[in-house]
Amino acid sequence: MQILIVKLSSLGDLFHALPAVHALREGLGATVDWVTHTGYVEIVKNFSDVRRVIGFSRREWARQSRSFLHELRRERYDLIVDLQGLTKSALVARLARGPRRIGPSYHRELARLFYTEVAGQRNKQRHAVEEALDVVSHLGLPLPATPEFPVVFPKKTFSATPPRIALAPCSRWVTKNWPAARFIEVARALRERTGATFFLVGAPEDQAVCGAIAAALGADAVDLSGRTSLVELGSVLQAMDLALTVDSGPMHIAAAVGVPVLALFGPTDPQRTGPYGPQHRVISVKIENCAACFRDRCRRGDLACMERITPDRVVAAALEMLHL
């Protein structure tokens, strides 16, 4: 059996889909191809269950449509599964060759028009990993007792003194960010207690914040922000003992490769998009009519949901997770 997965973005969402894809491949004895945005092709190539990755460029669609359609329609699939649920992804599923197109319960826009069936009932009060697993139940396959994230990045070793702690202080939303001064305070306390080495990770636009934190920590910090590809970022995170993050792409990568994640959450909901698995921990502050507002601009103007997370609380949780 041949299966095509359509999951175009975002970085975290790709990893949320992994347990469902793994269960499909195992349960059906299938080969799996995957369509994703061109920026994520190299990282999806590291997903162990995937045979072939097809890049979709929304910006270069007019110029590359012929080559994309050639790759998309090169195989005839027994099953096409759209785990994105948008009009764009559903149209990609429709353009692929195959008689059966399954969409997710959380489909939006005009996506339903392009599916032959939908998996599961809409229920947003659960984690995105569990939503994606609806397709497994829909096909009559057993749900995994423990969802697996089969991804392996090239091995990277560090001579730095353990424990090695990744710091991911930035996200695309300013409302999800914790002050750099707090990261510095926490890192200094952890260094004093554990002798840890810190690795700052992030995108090129995060370099000012990450660089300031690294400079404040001195020789015990390595600033890798803007200096790694996504695959190299995966290799770095794979070698860590702990990841201290805000709600961001590095958080999802670290969780998927089995590194314990201590995540700080404010305007988003960790029950839906937090690091998945019992080895991880989330710190958040409940503020009436505020926390989990899903806004990229703070309507209160004080970023209270993040500002009220105290360094002492983060240090204590990190020490527990490091078993120190």
Give the containing element (helix H, strand E) for 143.
Answer: none
The two structure tokens encoding residue 294:
């899903």
Residue range 15-42: mean pLDDT, rounded = 97
Give every CB contact of residue 319 below 8 A, 6+ residues apart in sequence: 190, 193, 194
Residue range 87-104: mean pLDDT, rounded = 97
Give the containing element (helix H, strand E) for 52.
Answer: strand 50-56
What is the C-alpha separation between 129 and 272, in angstroms, rounded?
8
Q: 2-138 and 164-321: same fold?
A: yes
pLDDT of residue 61: 67
Contact 208, 162 (CB under 8 A): no
pLDDT exceeds cutoff 80 at 289: no
What is the C-alpha separation between 290 and 273, in angstroms, rounded?
18
Tell me the fold of 164-321: Rossmann fold (3.40.50)
The two structure tokens encoding residue 261:
């994640």
Banded pLDDT at 297 (limits 50, 70, 90): confident
pLDDT of residue 301: 74
Residue range 55-75: mean pLDDT, rounded = 85
What is the C-alpha separation between 316 and 198, in angstroms, rounded?
17
Query: Residue type for 199, please?
Result: F
Q: Specify the pairing of strand 50-56 against strand 221-223.
A: unpaired
Residue range 294-301: mean pLDDT, rounded = 81
Q: Give 82: exposed, middle or buried? Use CB within 10 Å, 0-12, 13-18, 19+.
A: buried
pLDDT exceeds cutoff 80 at 275: yes
What is the C-alpha separation between 237 and 258, in angstroms, rounded?
9
Place of tokens 């692929």: 96
The domain spans of the chain are 2-138, 164-321
Percent helix, strand, coil in the chain (nearest 5)?
A: 40, 20, 40
pLDDT tens, position by position, 163-210: 999 999 999 999 999 999 999 999 999 999 999 999 999 999 999 999
pLDDT tens, position by position, 119-128: 999 999 999 9
pLDDT of residue 299: 81
Domain 2-138 architecture: 3-Layer(aba) Sandwich (3.40)
pLDDT of residue 62: 63
pLDDT of residue 286: 85
pLDDT of residue 298: 82
- CA–chain centroid gap for 21, Å, is 15
Name the percent of the chain lying above pLDDT 70. 98
Average pLDDT value for the chain:
94
Task: Identify which of 7, 9, 50 has the alpha carbon closest to the alpha carbon of residue 32.
Answer: 50
pTM of the model: 0.93
Task: Identify which of 147, 3, 1, 2 has the alpha carbon closest to the alpha carbon of residue 82.
Answer: 3
What is the C-alpha separation between 101 and 93, in angstroms, rounded?
7
